[in-house]
Amino acid sequence: MKRKVLVILSNRLNRLQKPRFIEVDCDEEGNILKEHPLRSQPREPLYAEVWENDDAKTDFASCHSFKRKYGHALEKAKGRAAKR
């Protein structure tokens, strides 16, 4: 089973710099299968998890640590999807 993860790369020291958004496809074990950058912030909650790095890194490969954002607006609700 694959899941989609949204990674947000932002800069906590310079809030005027726009954040970068990357969509990552992972398997159940967390291995990255595919990644591609998004042009802008997504509008719909499509992601299983949302992760953020605020160390002003410009690409995904140079980041060492991420923080999970629980209850983020772009994270899809698990409770409603399971009942359907």
pLDDT tens digit sequence for 51-84 = 998 887 777 888 888 889 999 999 988 755 544 4
Backbone angles phi, psi at 18, to 5 degrees: -70, 140
What is the Cα–Cα distance from 55 to 65, expressed in whole angstroms?
A: 9
**Spans of all domains in the chain:** 1-56
Q: Token match 């909650």: residue?
A: 45
Q: What is residue 84's predicted lDDT score, i.e. its pLDDT?
A: 43
* Model confidence pTM above 0.85: no
| 3-25 residue pLDDT tens | 999 999 988 888 888 999 999 99
Q: What is residue 82's predicted lDDT score, i.e. its pLDDT?
A: 47
